Structure formats: C-alpha cells, structure tokens
Amino acid sequence: MREIVLWGASGHARVLAEFLGALDYAVVALVDNDPALTSFLPGVPLLHDEAALREWRGAHAGDLFALVAIGGARGAERLALQHALSAAGYTIPTAVHPRAFVAADAELGAGTHVLALAAVAAAARLGAGCIVNTSASVDHECRLDDGVHIGPGATLAGNVTVGRNAFIGTGAAVIPNVTIGAGAIVGAGSVVVRDVPANTIVYGNPARVARAVAE
C-alpha cells in the first residue's frame, strides 16, 4: 500500500482515514498542533508540529503522500499547509470515497476530498484543497476555486461559481448560475438565490448578508 500522512487528527482526519485503505493508502503518521490530542489510529504516531514531522520524515525513507485533514471554513489554512507539504516533497493526491460519484469529465485539483454519497456532476471544475462533504452535491459545470468547502448535504445547482476559500454550510442550497464570492460563508440550511459578495456571511431563506467575515 502507498503510505500517507494526514495533517489533522480530529473529525475530518477520522473521516478520511476510514476509507483511505480502500484507495490503497496506509496512514503512517498524523500531525496536529493541538497538544491535547492523541492518535486515534493504533500504532500510528501523532506529531505536534512541523519540526516533529521533519524529524520523523528524516527517519522514514521512501516516497510519501499527504493530505490536509482540516474541515470547516479554514480553506486558507488548508491550502497553506498543503503548499508546505508539497514543497517538502510529499505527493498530494485527491481522495474520492468509493461510494461517491465523480463524473468522468469533472476535474479535481490536488488535495481535494469527495466524501461518501457526495456527487460531482458533468464538467464541474474543482480547484486544489476543496472538500465536497458527505452527501453534498455539486452539479454540472460548477466552478469551485481553491480551498472551497461544500458542507454535508449542501446542494449547488448547475453553473454555480464559488470563490477561493468560501464555505457553504450544512444543508444549504444554491440555485443555478449564482456566484459566491471568495471567502464568503453561507450559513447552514440557507437558500441562496442571488450572488453573494466576497468575505461576507449570509444566511436565511432567502439568504441575506448578515455581516462581513472577521479578519
């Protein structure tokens, strides 16, 4: 099996670890900055910072893969860590759950995760470090920039454009041809019927701007 490191050791890492074996990967190390966490995988070390990872890597020969297992509205952090891992020589794959659907002509960027029962439809284009979470749907010809997270059960209709590091909350629905700006956050269960400005938080049915995203 191919050996892979996960940066993250909480919920999203558990989700990835559950099915990576079916993709012929073996998790050989976890990394997380939270000193209170312990490894949830028997026999797999949990390292707590980049220095510990470098020390571990120095004693671990061979090619290694890596994924950043950080969910939520943390696209910028996910991309920064993915860039650092790539620069350190790790190969960044995609991870598609065996029970997800990805159209043959869809494109997934490096480090993108498509989780169980999710769907990515025809001619969709997803950038690097995206998450299409459990049971989410990204319909035909959608465009997701790097670092986008589509939350569990959220639905994007056709031709939706989502800007870099935006987050679509659990169960939200977005009608066709809408643009969601970079860094925007769409609240859980919201119904988006018009364009969403960059770096704003919207929620409700129909979704309305509530405030700017805090710096």
The CATH number that domain 96-212 falls under is 2.160.10.10
The pLDDT of residue 166? 98
The pLDDT of residue 210? 92
Residue 54, phi then psi, degrees to nearest 5: -60, -40
The pLDDT of residue 63? 92
State the fold for domain 2-87.
Rossmann fold (3.40.50)
**Whether pLDDT at 214 is above 90:** no
Over the stretch 87-140, which tens digit does the pLDDT of each residue have? Answer: 999 999 999 999 999 999 999 999 999 999 999 999 999 999 999 999 999 999
Q: Taking residues 68-80, what's their average pLDDT?
A: 96
Is pTM beyond 0.85 here? Answer: yes
Q: Are 134 and 151 in contact (CB under 8 A)?
A: no
149 is catalytic: no
Give 51's contacts (C-beta < 8 A, 6+ positions apart). Answer: none
Q: Which candidate in 12, 97, 113, 140 is catalytic?
A: 140
Residue 166, phi then psi, degrees to nearest 5: -70, 155
Q: Where are the domains of the chain?
A: 2-87, 96-212
